[in-house]
């Protein structure tokens, strides 16, 4: 039983390395649209499917933004947004 658990832990470590996020979790950042407008966000989760962010406004889906955290920049397409959170896929 212990060997199986060790194998699953190793498999999870390998899986996490292969999907290493491009931005640090919990980092403050800005979504920047084509006109240069900035929307402050907090990055909550990054996965192969996309990004979950805390946000203080509702933004329309299907819009593309640049997520800027320090010197890092990732292009996102908003999938959904509600009061407090937004989900986006990495373009």
Task: Give Cβ neighbours of residue 77 (< 8 Å, ≥ 6 apart).
Answer: 62, 63, 64, 88, 89, 91
pTM: 0.67
CA 53-30-16 angle, to 5 degrees, is 45
What range defines the domain where residue 33 resides?
Answer: 22-90
Q: Confirm whether 85 is domain-assigned.
A: yes
Q: What's the rounded Cα separation, in Å, for the pair 86 and 5?
A: 35
- The stretches of 1-91 forming alpha helices (DSSP H) are 2-18
Q: Confirm whether 44 is domain-assigned.
A: yes
Q: Confirm whether 62 is domain-assigned.
A: yes
Q: Confirm whether 4 is domain-assigned.
A: no
Contact 67, 22 (CB under 8 A): no
The CATH number that applies at residue 33 is 2.40.10
Task: Show pLDDT as tens, one digit a residue, over the chain (91 residues).
Answer: 566 777 777 776 776 666 655 555 678 899 999 899 999 999 888 877 788 999 988 888 888 999 988 888 889 999 999 888 999 998 8
Q: Confirm whether 13 is domain-assigned.
A: no
């Amino acid at each position: 039983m212990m060997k199986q658990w060790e194998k699953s832990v190793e498999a999870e470590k390998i899986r996490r390395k292969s999907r290493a996020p491009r931005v640090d979790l919990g980092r403050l950042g800005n979504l920047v649209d084509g006109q240069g407008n900035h929307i402050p966000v907090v990055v909550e989760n990054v996965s192969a499917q996309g990004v979950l962010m805390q946000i203080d406004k509702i933004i329309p889906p299907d819009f593309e933004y640049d997520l800027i955290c320090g010197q890092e920049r990732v292009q996102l397409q908003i999938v959904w947004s509600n009061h407090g959170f937004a989900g986006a896929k990495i373009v």
